[in-house]
Amino acid sequence: MNYETILCEIEDGIGTITLNRPKVLNAINDELLKEMSEALDIFAENQNVKVVILTGGDKVFAAGADIVFMSEASSLEAESFVRLCHETIDKITNLDKPVIAAIAGLALGGGCELTLSCDIRIAAEGTNIGLPEINLGLYPGGGGTQRLTRLVGTGWAKQLLMTGKPIDAKSALNIGLVTKVVPAQELMKEAKGLALELARKSTIAMRLMKSCIDYGENVDLPSGCLFEQKVWALLLSTDDAHEGMKAFLEKRKPDFRGR
Ligand code: DAK
């Protein structure tokens, strides 16, 4: 898995994608999106990958979409870029494995939008997160106006989107934009520890639960609960559910097989 703009590795059941354009603070261009999309396909197919980490490493997550690329793009390049943005973000959202965003330094604009499509976001102290597109005469086009609003509520979303001012990791934690803040040097250790913890759970229960949460966000409560009930009934008949309950009764650790 050799790429130009990302690093990609699989270790201990964890697939990690690291944005890798340090000279431009990991600004996101079409090539990076293409490579990330390809890596996500590989992770989706590979049964050994139980959890995915998306990161920029311990310096910077991403300063947003590549402004040089966007300002020079022809209409056809712009069309392809927009398509790739949505394709990649949809692949993260629809991946049937948990995706953890490990965020350091900056997550701005399209960088922030990438993290919003992940399941869990943890940040390093000193990180700034925001959607400054309004200062470029734009607004977020990668789902930011929608996902941020659902995640932190209309009030905070409008504050962030309308001012374009980033907030620090502590404030992001206070509004629920991230769920944990750790010292920068511990970010990757924390992300991997969390990933390993999730990787030990039943992959089938994890997958079905993720689909319930995500489906429920887009429908009314009774429909979401109905979906949860139907899927739960299906889950109860799996080997993993039997094993989990049996292990509890036998006072031992479960041995989940994802079946
Ligand atoms: N694009 C391209 N290059 C960038 C960049 C970016 N977003 N951010 C930084 N760089 C480059 C800088 O130009 C500089 O390059 P050189 O001058 O060295 O060649 C290098 O990275 C280091 O940056 P600075 O020298 O500026 O570093 P500082 O520490 O002084 O400042 C900064 C860091 C993050 C405050 C500053 O670089 C900055 O304000 N950057 C721009 C941040 C920003 O506005 N981001 C939002 C971009 S717009 C869509 C989906 C998504 C999007 C749009 C549409 N569709 C699906 C429709 C997303 C849009 C965006 O993200």
Question: Hey, what amino acid is at 43?
Answer: F
Q: Rounded to 5 degrees, what are φ and ψ at 28?
A: -95, 115
Q: What pLDDT is stored for residue 1 in this prediction? A: 77
Whether residue 256 lies inside any domain: the answer is: no
Whether residue 179 lies inside any domain: the answer is: yes
Write out residues with Cβ below 6 Å of ligand 1.
24-25, 27, 63-68, 82, 85-86, 106, 108-110, 113, 132-133, 136, 141-142
Q: What pLDDT is stored for residue 2 in this prediction? A: 86
Q: Rounded to 5 degrees, what are φ and ψ at 103?
A: -110, 125
Our answer to whether residue 133 is catalytic in this structure is yes
What average pLDDT does this structure show over 181-185? Answer: 97
Q: Are residues 35 and 88 in the same domain?
A: yes
Q: Are residues 113 and 232 in the same domain?
A: no
Q: What pLDDT is stored for residue 48 in this prediction? A: 95
Q: What pLDDT is stored for residue 108 in this prediction? A: 98
| Count of other CB atoms within 10 angstroms of residue 130 | 23
CA dist., res. 183 & res. 19, Å (int): 20
pLDDT in tens, 205-259: 999 999 999 999 999 999 999 999 999 999 999 999 999 999 999 999 999 999 9
Q: Are residues 69 and 128 in the same domain?
A: yes
CA dist., res. 4 & res. 53, Å (int): 19
Q: Are residues 47 and 169 in the same domain?
A: yes
Average pLDDT score over the chain? 97
Q: Which atom of ligand 1 is nearest to the CA of 89?
A: 56
Buried residues in 194-232 as b, exposed as e (16+ CB within 10 A): bbeebbebbbbbbbbbbebeeeeeeeeeeebeeebeeee
| Residue 180 pLDDT > 90 | yes
Domain that holds residue 223: 203-249
Whether residue 87 lies inside any domain: the answer is: yes
Scanning the structure block, which residue is given the tokens 């311990």? 58
pLDDT in tens, 141-178: 999 999 999 999 999 999 999 999 999 999 999 999 99
Residue 224 sits in a domain whose CATH number is 1.10.12
Our answer to whether residue 113 is catalytic in this structure is yes
Residue 23 sits in a domain whose CATH number is 3.90.226.10
Number of domains comprising the chain: 2
Q: Whose CA is nearest to atom 2 of ligand 1?
A: 66
Scanning the structure block, which residue is given the tokens 């934009």? 177
| Residue 81 pLDDT > 80 | yes
